[in-house]
Amino acid sequence: KKQYRIAVIPGDGIGKEVMPEGLRVLEAAAKKHGVALHFDHFDFSSWDYYEKHGQMMPDDWKEKIGKHDAIYFGAVGWPAKIPDHVSLWGSLIKFRREFDQYVNLRPVRLMPGVPSPLAGRKPGDIDFWVVRENTEGEYSSVGGRMFPDTDREFVTQQTVMTRTGVDRILKFAFELAQSRPKKHLTSATKSNGISITMPYWDERVEAMAKKYPGVKWDKYHIDILTANFVLHPDWFDVVVGSNLFGDILSDLGPACTGTIGIAPSGNINPEGDFPSVFEPVHGSAPDIAGQGIANPIGAIWSGAMMLEHLGEKEAGKSIVEAIERTLAERTLRTKDLGGNADTTACGKAVAEMVD
């Protein structure tokens, strides 16, 4: 029996509500598939921890979670108490950068029975992956503020693209495209307006494409690409983008499938030098936190991605199938998908359907 050690970090807000459901479903799948999951729970990367300790994480956070096989994460951010850039750069963004999780992999799939806000779309019409660069780009710490509180005040934040950083995310995306039936890759760009970094991105895409002659590829400027997500979601198979563009596309895509509440993600270090983080795409949702109505599917599906990443393909697949069977029943869906199930009822339904 294979054994895995998982670090569990619920974080803030609905992170704390959806994680128990994710764990419930992981336990069910592990039991059915003969996988042993050992969970270590951590309370850092949350407002509660910050309030007590004056920082988001302990100084030795890397020792605490760096040897685990994977990290299962909820959501972080509580803007009423702490500015988002402080909580996020003190936790989640640290994981991504310091554990070199340069791939942020985010599936977008319209599930059977779930109504899309886009008229006439059925399952199969929306089924693609957003591959988001996760360690550099627009999310850089190069820049600063000068002459604060004067008329001369100015702020800058540089976009950073390194050849290694751009090439490795493109290679991952092309490999993924090559493994899919449609073998189609779309690159998100903005090389008409962002005149230095984005033309560089395009250049590297073109160079990488030469190594994958079997993959058809195209590119769109990000403005029309967002329009095409809504008008022609069936055009897409693998969509690769910089850190910021990938962030935007990975909320828009799931919204086209009914809700961002079901969207999962893997922050992946493909080389396995560091643990990868699996978390829903959504945040801590302060507007609904504490009501027990959050959709747990994003967290549950992230658990499935985690199992697949660990090599437990069958167990992962059994969870995705259980999600499909659950979402097909309106009464088992949460409010964001037009149902009346609460977080726990939805989570329990998925756990029971795992086989």
Residues near ligand IPM (CB under 6 A): 77, 88, 247, 281, 283
Which residue, among 275, 261, 279, 264, has the nearest Cα to 72 in the 3D structure?
A: 279
Question: By C-beta, is 247 or 336 nearer to ligand IPM?
Answer: 247
Q: Is 295 in the site for ligand NAD (CB under 6 A)?
A: yes
- For Mn ion, the binding residue among 247, 279, 308, 312 (CB under 5 A) is 247
Which of 246, 316 has the CB closer to ligand IPM? 246
Q: Which of 123, 140, 104 is nearest to 250 (CA)?
A: 104
Nearer to Mn ion, 138 or 247 (CB): 247
- The 3-class secondary structure across 311-344, one letter per residue, is CCHHHHHHHHHHHHHHHCCHHHCCHHHCCCCCHH
Cβ neighbours around 30 below 10 Å, total: 20
Phi, psi of 51 (to 5 degrees): -60, -40
Closest separation in Å from C-beta 92 to ligand NAD:
5
Tell me how far apart the alpha carbons of residues 175 and 44 are, in angstroms, rounded to a whole number.
Answer: 35
Q: Which is nearer to ligand NAD, 26 or 288 (CB)?
A: 288
- Identify what 188 binds: ligand IPM, Mn ion, ligand NAD, none; CB under 5 to 8 Å per kind: none
Using CB under 6 A as the binding rule, whether residue 298 contacts ligand NAD is answered as: yes
**Of the two residues 247 and 312, which places its CB atom closer to ligand IPM in the complex?**
247
Count of residues touching ligand NAD (by CB under 6 A): 22
Residues 203-262 that bind ligand NAD (CB under 6 A): 260-261
Q: What is residue 271's three-state secondary structure?
A: coil
State the minimum distance, in angstroms, from the CB of residue 157 to Mn ion.
Answer: 18
CB of 267 to ligand NAD, least distance (A): 9
The amino acid at 208:
M
The CA distance from 101 to 336, in Å, is: 30
Q: How far apart are CA 217 and CA 194, in angstroms?
A: 21
Hey, is 138 helix, strand or coil?
Answer: coil
Which x/- pattern, by CB under 6 A, does the window 19-58 give for ligand NAD? ----------------------------------------
Residue 282, contacted partner among ligand IPM, ligand NAD, Mn ion, none, CB below 5-8 A by kind: ligand NAD
